[in-house]
Amino acid sequence: MTEYRLDNKFNDAFKQASLGVSIGENNQLAEFAKILRSGAQMVELDLASLYGFTGQGTPAARITKKEREAIGNLARTTDSDLSVHAPWSINFSGINPKTGERNAEYMDLMKKEIAAAINFTDDVSKPMGRRNMPIIFHAASDNFGSPDPNMRFSVYDKEQDKAFTVGPYKIPNVTEREFLDRYTEIKKAYDKLEDEKERKKFIIQGEGGITLSPKATFAFLKDQEAMGYSQELASLDISQHNIELQKKQIADSLVDYSIRGTQKELNLIKMKELLDKEEQGIQNRRFLKEKQLANIDKRFTRFEEEAPVLAAEGIKDAAIMSAKTSTKPMILVENTMTPDMSLSDPTDVRETIDKARELFVEAAMNDKTLRLSRSGAEDLSRKLIGVNLDVGHLNIFKSYVNPDTGKPYSDKDIVKMAEKLGDYVKRYHLNDNMGDIDAHLPLGEGTAPIKEIYETLKNAGVDAPAIMEVFGGVGGITAGMGPSFQYMSAPLFDKTPYASLTAYAGNPYSSIVGDYSSYLNLGLRNDLFQYGGFSGIAPTFGAGYMDNKGGGDFSGAPMV
């Protein structure tokens, strides 16, 4: 029996580096078997690739019971550690990314998708005799993040239950002073700015008018709504005054004329009753409008303040579903793919997890099926609800300015962001990129501070398994293993970088030797042409995975 020691560089790279692999989006059983031949014993199954709903059922629902059992049996036989990546389309906040609206129909779709992923994981876990298998969910699938508030940011309208973005807004034929004198909300926001440079950015005076910054646009939005409420109140005042005049005329008629007992008297009395009801309706509408006017700041808020609360409800529901299964899969929330999405910042993710655990405790205690004590519910909440930290996603913050420093995010900033999640982390996704798009390059081929984050959190006591998501790069998934092991200083490779193509070709995990060695089906023959290529590079020489959303020619953006 081989003794696995850190000083033995010929040890199994997967075990010694504590790394696993995320498999492709094709047949899960076949992909799993293929990855096992590479030596991996920690594998993430993929339900994520199909974005949205096709009418054919969820990705999980289309994998049959027999295939699920076969996956579980294969994992048990090979002593493999599995996790599951739920569909990207799941949005715990229940907000439709196309419309920004949060409605019952869309939320019902989300619940069905979540339930399908949990049931799939439960079915795979049973043959393994496994409890608490991790399911990775993206924290959100919307596009309401606010990575640079100087460019735009997102707003949540509680009255309409809707999210939307605001950006710079041009207003012609007015000066800054005239504008500030006219609108109270903007004046209040302006007066709070102590730095003169910030004031100049808040409202920019130009020829023929002004340009409002996103912050000023937000204040202007509230001013416009407040003015609308004020106009409605003024209209109600006029209606109220007219009713009072009519009621006075009726009262005078009843006193001045001898009409008692006549039909005319009865008609006047009935008219007065109708006016009384109308007046009561006006008073009710007035009360509502006055309340709306007073609460204008509570109606419109920065979406980043609301996202953790909204998402926590969905996470709590998922955790309750999980708690009622026999294997109780973990619900792990992953920081989202780009700062343009909400819940991409670890501070927001941490707040979301705290709130979700709090909601879970109360729900679990009141659930007649679970019947948990407070201490039991609290223990289960910490076990079931956690974080999957995706390092590549964090690295994309480098495309934006850090509002605390006024400069683009640095490696140091990225590491500090990761530290905020601390012991909430129960799993990692390790992949690389150039700081612009989620390219999923092999580790070390981009700019992400992967080692720094991994080692910093490990020194802080975080001991979580890591999954390599290395879809991009020459040869695709399996060919990316070798460079990734080397970058992570796996003992098999020591710390010597590849000096030439010859050295790379000699690596038993490489795409070249992999085709013709005992590591079957790892190489270019099977993988190269099925992934496409980098933008600006012929598909023959490259590979890619994610959709191309821009970026440099050598950023890992695939051709489309």
Residue at which a domain ends, from 258, 280, 301: 301
Q: Is 45 left (phi over 0), alpha (psi -120 to 50) or beta?
A: beta
Both 251 and 313 in one domain: the answer is no
Q: So what's the pLDDT on residue 164?
A: 93
Q: Within a domain: residue 14? A: no
Q: Quote the Cα angle for 64-69-431, to 5°.
A: 85
Q: Are 378 and 361 in contact (CB under 8 A)?
A: yes
- Compute the distance between CA of residue 475 and CA of residue 500 in angstroms, rounded to an integer: 17
- Whose tokens are 């293929």? That residue is 34
Give 128-183 as a DSSP string: HT--S-EEEEES--SS---S-TTT-EEEEETTTTEEEEE--EEEES--HHHHHHH-
Judged by DSSP in three states, 470 sits in coil
Give 252-307 as a DSSP string: HHHHHS--TTSHHHHHHHHHHHHHHHHHHHHHHHHHHHHHHHHTHHHHEEEHHHHH
Both 281 and 292 in one domain: the answer is yes
Q: So what's the pLDDT on residue 135?
A: 96
Q: Are 226 and 296 in contact (CB under 8 A)?
A: yes
Q: Are 467 and 83 in contact (CB under 8 A)?
A: yes
In what helix (H) or strand (E) does residue 95 lie, and over which residues does it extend? none
- Compute the distance between CA of residue 106 and CA of residue 98 in angstroms, rounded to an integer: 11
Tokens matching residue 243: 């009713």
In this structure, which amino acid lies at residue 195?
Answer: D
Q: Which among 542, 340, 528, 524 is positioned nearest to 441, based on CA atoms?
A: 542
Sheet strands side by side (includes 162-166): 162-166, 153-157, 300-302
Q: Are 94 and 307 in contact (CB under 8 A)?
A: no
Both 254 and 233 in one domain: the answer is yes
Q: Within a domain: residue 496? A: no
Q: Where are the alpha helices (DSSP H) in 443-523?
A: 450-459, 476-479, 481-487, 501-505, 513-516
Both 296 and 232 in one domain: the answer is yes
- Compute the distance between CA of residue 158 and CA of residue 102 in angstroms, rounded to an integer: 10
The residues with which 401 forms a beta bridge, in sequence order, are 408
Looking at residue 396, which CATH number applies to its domain? 3.20.20.150
Sheet strands side by side (includes 203-206): 169-172, 209-212, 203-206
Both 190 and 287 in one domain: the answer is yes
Tokens matching residue 456: 């910093």
Question: Each residue of 511-536: pLDDT tens digit?
Answer: 333 333 222 333 322 333 333 333 33
Positive or negative, the CA dihedral 176, 178, 179, 184 is positive
Q: Which among 299, 412, 393, 318 is positioned nearest to 348, based on CA atoms?
A: 393
In what helix (H) or strand (E) does residue 206 lie, and over which residues does it extend? strand 203-206
Report the domain count for the chain: 2
Using CA atoms, how far residue 231 sits from 224, 236, 328, 508, in Å, is 11, 9, 55, 76
Judged by DSSP in three states, 142 sits in coil
Tokens matching residue 404: 């605390």
Both 314 and 256 in one domain: the answer is no
Q: Within a domain: residue 498? A: no
Residue at which a domain ends, from 301, 316, 335: 301
Q: Are 441 and 556 in contact (CB under 8 A)?
A: yes
Length of the chain, in residues: 560
**Contacting residues for 371 by C-beta, under 8 A, at least 6 apart:** none
Both 246 and 157 in one domain: the answer is yes
State which residues form the domain around 369. 19-148+304-429+456-469
Q: Which among 288, 303, 354 is positioned nearest to 161, based on CA atoms?
A: 303
Strand 203-206 vs strand 209-212: parallel, antiparallel, or unpaired? antiparallel
Both 283 and 170 in one domain: the answer is yes
CA 404 to chain centre: 22
Residue at which a domain ends, from 469, 495, 524: 469
Q: Are 92 and 137 in contact (CB under 8 A)?
A: yes
Q: Are 422 and 353 in contact (CB under 8 A)?
A: no
Both 318 and 393 in one domain: the answer is yes
- Whose tokens are 């099925």? That residue is 530
Q: Where are the alpha helices (DSSP H) in 98-140?
A: 104-128
- Compute the distance between CA of residue 549 and CA of residue 338 in angstroms, rounded to an integer: 11
Q: Are 126 and 72 in contact (CB under 8 A)?
A: yes
Q: Are 496 and 480 in contact (CB under 8 A)?
A: no
Q: Are 304 and 346 in contact (CB under 8 A)?
A: no
Q: So what's the pLDDT on residue 526?
A: 31
Q: Within a domain: residue 480? A: no
In this structure, which amino acid lies at residue 549?
Answer: K
Strand 19-22 vs strand 42-46: parallel, antiparallel, or unpaired? parallel
Low-confidence ranges of the chain (pLDDT < 50): 1-11, 50-57, 493-560
Both 43 and 127 in one domain: the answer is yes
The residues with which 82 forms a beta bridge, in sequence order, are 43
Phi, psi torsion values for 554, nearest 5 degrees: -110, 30
Strand 162-166 vs strand 203-206: parallel, antiparallel, or unpaired? unpaired
Q: Within a domain: residue 451? A: no
Q: Within a domain: residue 510? A: no
Both 319 and 460 in one domain: the answer is yes
Q: Within a domain: residue 135? A: yes
Burial of 170 (0-12, 13-18, 19+ CB in 10 A): exposed
Judged by DSSP in three states, 376 sits in helix
Both 375 and 405 in one domain: the answer is yes
- Compute the distance between CA of residue 37 and CA of residue 519 in angstroms, rounded to an integer: 6
Q: Within a domain: residue 98? A: yes
